[in-house]
Structure 1
Amino acid sequence: MYEVEALILMAISGLVIGFIAALLGIGGGMVMVPALFFIFKLTNIIPHDQMHVAAGTSLLVMVATSIGSVVSHAREGNVVWQLSRRTIPGIAVGVIGGAILASYLPTAALSDIFSVVLIIVALTMIFGFKAQPAERPRPAAMKCSAIGSLIGFKSGLLGVGGGALSVPWLTWQGLPQREVSGTSSTFTLPAAIIGTVAFVFTGLNATDMPYTIGFVYWPALPVAGCASIFGAFVGAKFSRRAPGRLLRILFGLLLLGVSVSMVVAE
């Protein structure tokens, strides 16, 4: 019974998160992880390590949602492949390192770290901090790998996309917004794939959780994944007419509330 309730809540969450993500042009991981965390705690289908399973499952859902984004941006010519090729190796290393560290942290500590990051992202959205674009030469491979490792580490540790770091960095490099979005999407897909695999292997000892392999709850893929894709399709239709600045402020306030709730829940 609780599994059915959990899947219904995941479908609703995926729909809403996909809609908001497309409407505001942000990644959904910052909301997907706490949504899964609360669903696991409320229904008790995941008896322990809820934050770890939420992070691993979020990355799994992100695989499905980011494939379409990469294909779409690639067809439109929005991807600077030179930057992608230079950055992805660092992302791969960072994701694995972040996932390994996460496996050693208790759920309470991981939840607290996520809450702090959530507050930072919320304040950025509320006050509108933005990197100022400027024409700069393409960064060297070593610098791209270093930045990529930070992006990947955050993704692997918290189960989110790297947009909070990659978008300001790509903007600072002087890329137009369409190339920022397109190139950033090529960072998210490998981070999600490698992160999912890492969370599977680091959680193999946790064998008492239903429908999981490692720290990944697999039924969420067709349920939350499909719902978020549909929500993103609808959100994209409304994005041009939406009062973006006001919505970002309201969403930032929502993230602040979520961060406080996560701390209280522990």
Structure 2
Amino acid sequence: MEDLSLLSLGLLALALLATGLVAGIIAGLLGVGGGIVIVPVLFYMFTALKIDSSVLMHVAVGTSLATILGTGASSARAHYKRGSVDMDLLKRWWWAIALGVIAGGTLAGNISGGALTLVFGVVALAVSANMMFRKNGSALAESLPGSPLKEVLGFLIGGISVMMGIGGGTLGVPTLTLFNYPIHKAVGTAAAIGLIIAVPGTLLSIYFGWGVEGRPPLSLGYVNLIGLLLIIPVSTLAAPLGAKIAHAIDPSRLKLVFALFLGFTGLRMIYGAVF
């Protein structure tokens, strides 16, 4: 794929612009992290462009993690200024999350594209089910568990998230709210967790993808630089549009539609990985 024609490069650029547009609008509509949108859209885009299937999912995950460096930093800063980031929890939790990222990123760099696709599919189904069936305000306990279970939770959030190419919101928010965290503090803290995931996750994606054959052109390891440069500004500009649309339509129906999209995507990825 390194010797694609100018026409193919142009098609790739258009596909990545479309990815940023879709990711930004859906993120603005539903308040979800971009990664849970970017990875499946990149997966479909790269499949249509006939990117080598052995690296397709690795590049989708790596590129998504790199986009979080920009969008996640902006989001975390905004939430920190509003006092909605639990710094005490982060000081006790960051190392467990980081260890999970290192373990998950190393595993992701050494397994097949099919196995990585299967991981995304299974977790996407779980997230979809959570969005569809969990009642608002329902909690498992009054607070986070003590050590070592709390550290195990952080490790799992970091490890699973980096393998999916997502930030802290998709798994961090439902986990924290499950333990009675106020939603605004859960969202803000999860945004900061996204940076703990994205920094080492991006570096590991670059390292394990270095020199691998079949990657899209202009890729640094498993991070596609064209995608990085095109997705971030477009998704940032599109997010306010999504938020504006959200005020004009029923958000509960949007949530259901997105949950169905995630469920369909998860099933499709599982089917493709297994069969």
**AA aligned opposite 2:199:** I
Residue number in structure 1 paired with 2:4: none
8 Å contact from structure 1 (residues 131, 169) kept in 2: no
Q: CA shift at 1:137, angstroms?
A: 5.5
Counterparts of 2:49 and 2:25, CA distance in 1 = 24
Correspondence list, 1:110-149, <5 A: 110-129=116-135, 132-133=138-139, 136=142, 140=146, 142-149=148-155
1:161 to partner: Cα distance: 2.1
Q: What amino acid sits opposite 2:192 in the alignment?
A: T
What is residue 258 of structure 2 aligned with on the other side? Answer: 251
Question: Unaligned 5+ residue runs, structure 2?
Answer: 1-6
Cα distance, 1:108–1:135 mapped onto 2, change above 3 Å: closer
Query: Retained in 2: the 8 A contact 1:83–1:144?
Result: no
Residue 10 of structure 2 is aligned to residue 4 of structure 1: yes
- Picking from 37, 58, 68, the partner of 2:64 is 58
**1:40-65 C-alpha deviation (Å, 9 max, x unpaired):** 22223557411111111110112111
Aligned residues: 266
Alpha-carbon shift at residue 2 of structure 1 (Å) = 1.4
Say whether the 8 Å CA contact 1:127–1:249 is kept in structure 2.
no
Q: Deviations over 1:138-172 (max 9, x none)?
A: 65565443221111101221211233331122213
Root-mean-square deviation (Å): 2.3
The counterpart of 1:27, out of the listed 29, 33, 42, is 33
**Secondary structure at the residue paired with 2:85?**
coil
Q: Percent identity?
A: 33
Give me the TM-score of the superposition, normalised by structure 2.
0.87
1:222 corresponds to which of 213, 217, 229: 229
Residue by residue over 1:240-263, the C-alpha shift from the partner in whole angstroms, topping out at 9 and shown as x without a partner, is 443121111111111222234334
Corresponding residue SS for 2:166: coil
The offset of 1:104, in angstroms, is 1.8
2:212 matches 1:206: yes
Contact 1:162–1:187 (Cα < 8 Å) also in 2:
yes
Question: Which stretches in structure 1 are left out of the alignment for 5+ residues?
Answer: none
Q: Report the TM-score, using the length of structure 1 for normalisation.
A: 0.90
User: 1:187 aligns to what?
Assistant: 193
Residue 165 of structure 1 aligns with which residue?
A: 171
Q: Could you list the per-position Cα deviations for residues 182-215 of structure 1 after superposition, in whole angstroms to 9, with x for gaps in the alignment?
A: 1111101120111001111112241553211211
Instruction: Work out the CA distance in 2 between the residues paired with 1:115 and 1:10.
Output: 21
The CA distance in 1 between the partners of 2:219 and 2:47, in whole Å, is 16
Matched-pair contact (CA < 8 Å) for 2:168–2:192: no
CA contact (8 A) 1:103 1:203 kept: yes
* Worse overlay, 49-58 or 84-93: 84-93
1:99 to 94, 97, 105: 105
Helix, strand or coil for the counterpart of 2:181? coil
Checking the alignment, whether the CA contact within 8 Å between 1:87 and 1:141 is kept in structure 2 is no
